[in-house]
Chain A
């Protein structure tokens, strides 16, 4: 089996069986990272480029390790060290990379749609590693993988996503994916940070966090960009933490043993209390699973043979 598309640009439009294929494939890759020799020869001879126009440690490292554990040659390019600062266009940069014969280009960009723009113009497979406020498909896949791993299913699960929905590509990809897989999605945040029409994407909107998390199986906290305060989107960290932060007392009120997720990096004491993050979350499992999911995506886009797991 392989994915029918050349690229992975977003979760929107993906069928349930495609998502399931990726998650199932990731499960077979997960134990590669647990071995003493963390490497399989699956993508030997393939060239993978991490083209990151936005700062990232976790996602870039995760893709890099995923490629290396599949035996691909992985190169990292970030804006600070590329010709981007000299004013080269996005397409010129990408075409120059492709001229050196890349197979997969992983793109992170602050502008929504940048990976799609490149995908239509390059022969290489393009994987969206997060574009603007649009999508972050591998994050949603690793989140779904983690939920399925912890709860045994996605169908019928209730997920509350809390925080700055407006600027969150993680939220959008998760809403699409979870809705497709039969989960119920609630989103909650200050109305200044909930975009119009989000309910049409398949999410129910809340502004009261206690109500939003009531009876949820999963509480997914989003990172608050502190500079949004200057833009007038919330009055201050103190009030934000009070209304939209996940602390022990609020978690206890959920009413069941909900799992707590966060895509990172966290603002401890703002959207999530340290006690919750350290003692009651699956945040590090998400990070572990990210490598397996990204291995699966690269493998399936390469249309390769059976996983040699």
Chain B
């Protein structure tokens, strides 16, 4: 089936395209870009995208799909349906499933489920160490060969600097990104929120910024030592932004991501013991939020990812200490991120780049572009539509969001994966 998308505003940062064009999709690939009205429909399905943005399919490089093992929270089917509803054509799924994705068999299971039930592309991330225990390296060659696009012990950071060093060295065989959840466990200890005045008032154990920054610093130094490609997950602190900026200036091969909640909310969201505002790393302060925005603006932070972390409401309902960390993000990311454009932090083109071309570059995916011949992964965004977040309408199996009831402006209205509507 061919598709002609007419009258839209095309933004393709990889090709520096930002203007009114029509776009023809043929046989699942991008066929042609042309002046408005210049492309004949020739029986193609015509989409009138007047007033809409046509952008490369968005890629979320940090998602927890929970399958295998935690299907009551999310499955590959429901998670990719949520991705597609939120405008993402591809998601990277983190390996902290049960069993951990530390072997070919788990990777192949994920890919076969995705092929069967997936509404969006699934690009697995393999574990750095066996069982994500931080001890022995997982078989990186096999994981890479099976289709993993990065390695990470997300959620269980590698505590041994020596193990991390060896993982980075070994990763160079495959030129695969080592994706680090930066958290020094002894500093984070049993913390459940940001350490500061709010944790003092609420009597909750705090996680200092230094718990993140110490590890960011360590991993940057190890990347410098090894020459490996380091990608830092979910940056939440001003200190980590500063360390990454300095490292980039020195020429270290480091990239980094942040998440919508880290530039939207502060620790104050926890007040009232709101478990929907419990995540790891924790929501920080106004100063950190300002630094995250600056980091996105100047390119220190390359990527916006969601860290989509589904949990059942039963798990999130109860004592704050007992609730699991994390929130769902796939279906609110575009609306929340568009605020950065509305506030003048990013241009629309910069925002789209950080959600498509940049993650594609890091995971070496062919997506993230509307170049002729590329797979037709396309997201159509209505930047003006006003809507209210209603978790009960989420495609995700889990509804754990702190943004319920928020009024947002702009959302993805159509997500085309491989030329399929």
Contact = CB atoms under 8 A, between A and B. Distances in A.
A90 B200 contact: no
A83 interface: no
A109 B321 CA distance: 11
A75 interface: no
Contact of B320 (A91, A111, A169, A198): A111
Contacts of B319: 90, 109, 111, 113-114, 117
A114 B203 CA distance: 11
20 contacts: A89-B318, A90-B318, A109-B319, A111-B319, A111-B320, A111-B321, A112-B202, A112-B273, A113-B202, A113-B204, A114-B319, A116-B273, A117-B318, A133-B203, A134-B203, A172-B203, A196-B197, A196-B199, A196-B206, A201-B200
B199 A132 contact: no
A111 B201 contact: no
Interface residues of B, number: 20
A264 B195 CA distance: 28
Given A113-B320, A116-B272, A200-B197, 5 more contacts: A113-B202, A113-B319, A131-B203, A132-B204, A133-B205
Interface of A: 12, 89-91, 109-114, 116-117, 131-135, 169, 172, 195-198, 200-201
A196 B320 contact: no
B50 interface: no
Contacts of A111: 319-322
Nearest to A112: B203
B38 interface: no
B204 A112 contact: yes
Contacts of B200: 195-198, 201
Contacts of A198: 200
A132 B321 contact: yes
Interface string B290-329: 0000000000000000000000001001111110000000
Contacts of A169: 203
A117 to B, nearest CB: 6
Given A112-B320, A117-B318, A197-B196, A132 B273 contact: no
- Chain B contact surface mostly: loop
B211 to A, nearest CB: 14
Nearest to A198: B200
B166 to A, nearest CB: 29
Nearest to B190: A231
A23 B318 CA distance: 33
Contacts of B205: 133
Contacts of B317: 89, 91
B246 to A, nearest CB: 26
Interface of B: 195-197, 199-206, 272-273, 314, 317-322
A197 B203 contact: no
Contacts of B197: 196-197, 200
A135 B200 CA distance: 11
Nearest to B319: A111
Most A CB contacts (10 A, CB to CB) among B204, B272, B273, B317 go to B273
A133 B204 contact: yes
A203 to B, nearest CB: 11
Contacts of A172: 201, 203
Contacts of A110: 321
A57 B276 CA distance: 35
B321 A91 contact: no
Given A112-B321, A113-B319, A117-B318, A134 B199 contact: no
A116 B272 CA distance: 8
A305 to B, nearest CB: 33
Given A90-B318, A112-B321, A195 B199 contact: yes
A111 B273 CA distance: 10
A71 to B, nearest CB: 33
A135 B203 contact: yes
A113 B273 contact: yes
A113 B192 CA distance: 13
A113 B193 CA distance: 13
Nearest to B320: A113
9 A-B pairs closest in CB distance = A197-B197, A134-B203, A113-B273, A133-B203, A111-B319, A112-B203, A195-B200, A111-B321, A113-B320
Most B CB contacts (10 A, CB to CB) among A90, A109, A197 go to A197
Contacts of B314: 89
Nearest to A12: B201
A133 B321 CA distance: 12
Nearest to A89: B318
Contacts of A113: 202-204, 273, 319-320
Nearest to A172: B203
B194 to A, nearest CB: 10
A198 B203 CA distance: 11
A132 B273 CA distance: 12
Nearest to B195: A196
Contacts of A195: 199-200, 206
Contacts of B322: 111
A200 B202 CA distance: 13
Contacts of A200: 197
Contacts of A114: 319
B36 to A, nearest CB: 55
A254 B395 CA distance: 66
Contacts of A135: 203
Contacts of B195: 196
B201 A201 contact: yes
Most B CB contacts (10 A, CB to CB) among A111, A116, A133, A134 go to A111
A12 B319 CA distance: 20
Nearest to B197: A197
Contact of B273 (A12, A91, A117, A197): A117
A170 to B, nearest CB: 11
